[in-house]
Chain A
Amino acid sequence: MKKPTRTQGAQRRPPPGWGWIRGWLLRHAQTALSSLGRLYRAPAASLMTAAVIGIALALPAGLYLLVDNLRDLGQRWDGSASLSLFLQQDLPEARARQLAETLRGWPEIGTVQLISPEAALAEFRALSGFGDALDALGDNPLPAVLTVRPAISQVEAEQIGQLQDKLAALPEVEQAQLDLQWVQRFAAMLQIAQRGILLVGGLLALAVLLIVGNTIRLDIFNRREEIEVSKLIGATNAFIRRPFLYSGLWYGLLGAVLAWVLVMLAFWQLRGPVRQLAGLYQSEFALATFGLGTSFALLLLGILLGLAGSWLAVGRHLSAIQPR
């Protein structure tokens, strides 16, 4: 395709327009590719740098994913906060049924499930592995239990607390246990863990910044002659900066891809044992790995850190190189 007008040498900058934008995009694409080519021509050194970045990113990314999974687990239980009412040991089953029926009538209660002492024993026998020991007891030591789930409107911790008190006061009830408490503690612990990861992540992000910055700094000194000559024949600072910024971008992206692969491999290793553990708790829970959004966020973070690192190096060292 021929351009309608030719600019006269480099005397004037061509006016902005479609052709100019196309040229600009083309130049960027060329620089990006040649920067990538430069990394490809020194594969060992490039991979080493990318690996360091990858490991530094994989650590917080993996921890983040782990905590995300745990929080998900906590939330599942959180939504199904329930109260276990351990009834008096000698309460006849008919009375227990009657009580269950009464409670179902309460407005603050959603569902009530009766677990008879026999059913509780059977379940315990099946799950605990203490079958023989239970046989030796002869008598069933377990009381009847009512599992009470609050109505949907009663999810505030305070409301559930009030309900717990009310239920505990019933004469048939020996003990009313709220199954939410440990979930709350768990959530609090997760919050601490998240804070910790944020801190570790911040430090490692700083490390990535320094790694990229130092790599680019060495690159700048290795190409000193090229930079000087380019400046002598009319290269703008932007032109000289560009290949180094793209190098930083590629380092960041490669590191992020590597981190992604590392975390995926680690989680793949964990998947089997976790499913086994979940099976023991009769849960369908399976480890979640990176989704599309988090994968994208990780890559973007890598790119941004790479760019920022090279920007630091370029800003500090390029202006110091002036032609003699």
Chain B
Amino acid sequence: MRASLFITCYNDTLFPQTGRAVVRLLERLGVSIDFLPAQTCCGQMHANTGFRGEAFSQAKRFVQLYRDTECVVIPSSSCVAMIRDQYPGLFEELGNDDLRKQFAALLPRVFELSEFLTDKLGVEDVGAYFPHRVAYHASCHGLRGLHIGERPFRLLSKVRELKLTPIANLDRCCGFGGTFSVKNAEVSTAMLDAKLTDLLATDAEYCTALDNSCLMHVGGALHRRNLKMRPIHFAEILASTEGVYL
């Protein structure tokens, strides 16, 4: 099977280790990976801040770039939610028939990483080894946007030596919200405080999630307060094996 990796703009720039982990994981499972270097951003930041026309130009670029690929894997649930929930409205308003048709044909082939593993590849045990206590943070877009459900838990439960420590108020936002964290920095911080209280109560060594955006937010506060818990993207746990882990 061939899969094209849409790494996302911020993973490319700030979290390349997540991309390397996806490549390692999927190649281990027998998937050949393509990477189209013309890719940039899905347009989520612009759309969610109100820059609709700008978001449209990025959405169009995404569809034109990926329309001929077998399938697209994205290690970020919020970018997938952008494509599923917001592209239709953008194309309805600003696109033409051709674009809408290309998008409709592409959409079923776009997967978030845990969806790709469980739904497309049909695997739960990816052969990973991660001997640590891990708290899973359910990012809002994965939880309520993609209805990701039990998929991440099923995958994590098969990781050898991993101990999952449940977190209270799993469904509550960490307060990132993209430009919200800057426009409403104080409120965002108060939400983050509440999330940290729940996270620290788990006594986990790592906090993982499907999105590095939430993890950048949570991890930034963990570091600011000299706390030992570390953020780690879901893909990096699944890529870890006895020989190589982070």
Co-complex (A, B): no
Instruction: Name B's A-contacting residues (CB within 8 A).
Output: none
Instruction: Name A's B-contacting residues (CB within 8 A).
Output: none
